[in-house]
Structure 1
């Protein structure tokens, strides 16, 4: 696993979170259709866990400080956070 894998999974995790918040949740609470939350929520949960596991591995392999891990973790629980974190990752790997 490398930084590019982390960036891809982070993008998918961020996208799944936005789908959950802005599509699935309104479908459940406005139109009484909880099916979207079930599937999008499950996908988001799996991507969230995968992102954290990959983040731990990449932090160890790249010898990043705990600060970088904490930033990644906080980014993963905030809407649009993974996209901001991706920008930081992109800047950190450019020569």
Structure 2
């Protein structure tokens, strides 16, 4: 998995988005349940926001090289909303062949 391909970028950001969601949820748990301290939210909130925007951009940029139709693109974009949805979408897209870049002759 490399950052130089559309598939690699998408997979990296899908995982990073899920990890940042986990951090934000953990920060919220500590803020509202355990210690009433918002440091976790202050740390993971901006990180999650940046990774979220990056995931949206990478998903939009993956549409053409991966030959996604509008439905697949919308599912990818909407997967960023629920926690860990990007990982579910990434696995589905890999399983259904939507994370395979066409060979050079098929472009």
Q: Secondary structure at the match of 1:13?
A: helix
* Greater than 4 Å deviation, 4+ residue runs: none
Equivalent residue number for residue 78 of structure 1: 82
**Structure exhibiting the larger radius of gyration computed from Cα positions:** 2
Q: Secondary structure at the match of 2:30?
A: helix
Structure 2: 5+ residue stretches without partners: 101-107
Q: Secondary structure at the match of 2:64?
A: helix
Query: 1 or 2, which has the higher helix percentage?
Result: 1
Structure 1: 5+ residue stretches without partners: none
User: 1 or 2 for the larger relative contact order (CA 8 Å, sep ≥6)?
Assistant: 1
Q: Secondary structure at the match of 1:33?
A: coil
Q: Aligned ranges for residues 2-41 of structure 1 at < 5 Å?
A: 2-21=6-25, 23-30=26-33, 31-41=35-45
How much does 1:62 deviate? 2.3
How much does 1:80 deviate? 2.1
Equivalent pairs counted in the alignment come to 94
